[in-house]
Amino acid sequence: MQHRIVVLGAGYTGAFAAGRLAKRLHREDVTITLVNPEPDFVERIRMHQLAVGRDLRPRPFSEMFAGTGVELKLAKVTAVDVDRKAVTVAAVNGDEPEELPYDTLVYALGSGWNDGGVPGVAEHAHEVAGRPGALRLRDRLAALDAGRRVVVVGGGLTSLEAVTEIAEARPDLDVALAARGALGDWLSEKGRAHLRKVVDKLGITVHEHTAVDAVEADGVTIADGRRIPAEVTVWTTGFAVHPIAEATTLELTDRGQIVVDATMRSVSHPDVYAVGDAAMAMGPHDKPLRMSCASGVPMAWQAADAIAARLAGVKVPHVSIRYYQQCISLGRKEGLVQFVTADDRAVDRALTGRGAALYKELICKSAAWGVASPTAGMPSRRRRVVRQETPARVPAEAAV
């Protein structure tokens, strides 16, 4: 009997994992089912570009996984029973709910918008955490007349990319950023200086050390009672993990992330692997990996290689996941590459300007290309560790 592998979610991590498993294992030994509600790959790290009206290249899974043996099931996950080893899905075409049994599960449902429980956010704010939200924001921005006000709430990478993209694409708007801390306070001195230069050049008003307590249709209210008026508020203060895992018996963190070991295997259910934002994995110096594509893609590599090795009965390869840089687009013409330590702390080195923008674009393209080419972008040392001349054969009695 073939070993049944079900992968939930086809974002960067789920798609990478499915493609890599198909490359690592003989098709006769396993079935790989990738469950996703949309038929094409969404480049989540480009949602700020979509929001200002830029066209993104279509990437249908039917082409990306052609000839790999990966079966795409267009459906939404409604329940996971890790004790019965079954997933319930609702087909997007309206068919009756279906139950998918599995032998190995890869949970890659990721994260979505997080309103933080702040009053008015859900009702009045826009988001760029996914394609539907980015498209709604695109329509709203397109309807704004010159001189109208937009405020982006948040101070992280998503916030900086969104606010600079909007300001560059729509110089006729009055664009502001409300950040809880100082502008780019985690960056190096060189990184902060360049960020400040770009923000000033784009005419963005920055409200630093500003906590937003409520969002209304015409602006936001900050902690001291003052208001920042805006016709459009964009909320980018962080992400919340998909809630499906909370209804399972998996061991979770307080944030709802699945606790995994160094091979991305659930510490409570050894037939379940979790990758990306859905998982809580430890990085260098026992520091949790942050929610990001930079963390999620290596996690997917590790999970796929571990599954393949265990099924084949060979040594499980492992290379510690570490960080090298944070790549930030600041519109289409400017960028910032902040080099970091293994545990993601800024160092003095940073690449800025047009070169950094081109570097970030290369990263974005390689991430999308790597979905269909599972070893793309891997450090050469890691390729040597996991390299197999031929796909691994799975013994009939294999179990993970």
Over the chain (400 residues), the average pLDDT of each successive run of 10 is 96 95 92 96 95 93 92 96 97 88 97 93 96 97 98 96 98 98 97 98 98 97 95 95 95 96 97 97 92 92 96 90 95 96 96 95 82 48 39 61
Half-sphere exposure of 338 (CA within 13 A, CB side): 23
**Which pLDDT does position 318 carry in this prediction?**
84
DSSP code for 300: H
DSSP 8-state class, residue 2: P
Half-sphere exposure at residue 252, Cβ-oriented, CA atoms within 13 angstroms:
17
Q: How far is CA 280 from CA 131, 258, 260, 288, in A?
A: 25, 6, 6, 7
**pLDDT given for residue 92 in this prediction:** 86
Rg of the chain on CA atoms, in Å: 22
Judge contact between 234 and 127, C-beta under 8 A: yes
Q: Which two tokens stand for residue 45?
A: 């790290």
DSSP lists the bridge partners of residue 233 as: 125, 151
At 94 the pLDDT is 81
The span from the CA of 198 to the CA of 336, in Å, is: 10
Q: Residue 340 contacts by C-beta under 8 Å, 6 or more apart in sequence?
A: 323, 324, 325, 326, 346, 347
Q: State the sign of the Cα–Cα–Cα–Cα dihedral 113, 158, 184, 204.
A: negative
The answer to whether the Cα torsion of 142, 118, 214, 120 is positive or negative is positive
For residue 27, the model assigns a pLDDT of 87
Sign of CA dihedral 164, 166, 169, 171: negative
Which helix (H) or strand (E) segment is 192 a member of? helix 189-201
Q: What is the DSSP letter of 197?
A: H
CA atoms within a 13 Å half-sphere pointing along the CA-CB vector of 114: 17
Is residue 279 within 8 A of residue 253, CB to CB? The reply is no
CA distance 191 to 349: 8
| Distance between CA atoms of residues 115 and 16, nearest Å | 28
- Phi/psi of residue 161, nearest 5 degrees: -70, -40
pLDDT at 96: 86
Helix (H) or strand (E) holding 45: none
